[in-house]
Amino acid sequence: ESNRGWSSITSSADGNKLAAVEAGGQIYINPHYKLAAACSSPSTTVNFATNISPGPVTEAGQTVSFQVSNDNNSLFTTQPAISSNGTLTFTPGSSTGVATVTVSVVDSGGTAFGGVDASLPETFTISVVPAVTSVSPPAGARVGGTSVTITGIGFTGATNVTFNSLQATSFTVVNDT
C-alpha cells in the first residue's frame, strides 16, 4: 500500500490518450476514447487501456481494476466495462444516443495508513449509432428518383438520410427493427 496513490487520469499532450498516473506507474487508455458503436452489436476494444501496473516495486503484489459507470444505462444491454487486461467491452441496445462514461483506476492496496487506492475520475464518450443491415436496391439512377429500402435498427428519431453526401428528398421510418 502506498500513501501516494493514484494522482489522476489525464489526457496526453496530443489529446489522444488518457493516462492514470501513479508514482512508478502509468496506465494509458488508447485513442479510441470517443467511440461509435452500431446498435445491438457487441463491442470489444482490446488494449483500450495499456501499460497497466500497480506502481513501484513495493506495490508489485497489488492488482489494478477499473470502476466504470455511465450516464445513459438505457443505451446498453451489457454496460461498458474495462477488464484488468485493459479490454473495453459493452453491448448497445436498440436505442441510439450518446453516453458519457466515467472511469477510475483502483488498486488493491486499500486506504489504511493514509493510502489512496483510486484515481480521480476521467470520462470518454460512446455514441450508439443506427445499424444498417441492407440497402435495396444497391444502386440507382444518378439523377435520383429511385425508391430505396434501408433495413436495420436504431432508425427511430432519424432526421435525414444521405447517399454519398446527397440528402434524400424524403424518407419514412416504417419499422425500427
- Per domain, the residue ranges of the chain are 6-129, 131-167
Using one digit for the tens of pLDDT, what is the confidence trace for 157-170? Answer: 778 888 878 888 88
Looking at the domain that runs over 6-129, which CATH code has it been given?
2.60.40.10
Q: Pick 56 or 8 by higher pLDDT.
A: 56
Strand, coil or helix: 73: helix
Q: How far is CA 24 from the centre of its chain?
A: 27
pLDDT at 80: 94
Query: Would you say 14 and 31 are in contact if contact means Cβ atoms under 8 Å apart?
Result: no
Nearest to residue 25, comparing CAs of 42, 5, 45? 5
Tens-digit pLDDT profile for residues 86-142: 888 999 887 888 888 888 888 887 777 777 777 778 788 888 877 787 888 888 887
pLDDT band (50, 70, 90) for residue 79: very high
125, 98 Cβ separation under 8 angstroms:
yes
Is the model more confident about 1 or about 65? Answer: 65
What does the pLDDT look like over 23-44, one tens digit per residue? 334 444 443 445 556 667 788 8
Select the more confidently predicted residue: 21 or 132: 132
pTM for the full model?
0.67
Q: Which residue has the cell 450508439?
A: 128
Q: Between these two residues, 16 and 49, which has the higher pLDDT value?
A: 49
Nearest by Cα to 50 from 74, 82, 8? 82
* pLDDT attached to residue 36: 58
Locate 26 and state its grid cell. Answer: 502509468
Q: Is the pLDDT of residue 6 over 50?
A: no
pLDDT at residue 165 in the model: 80
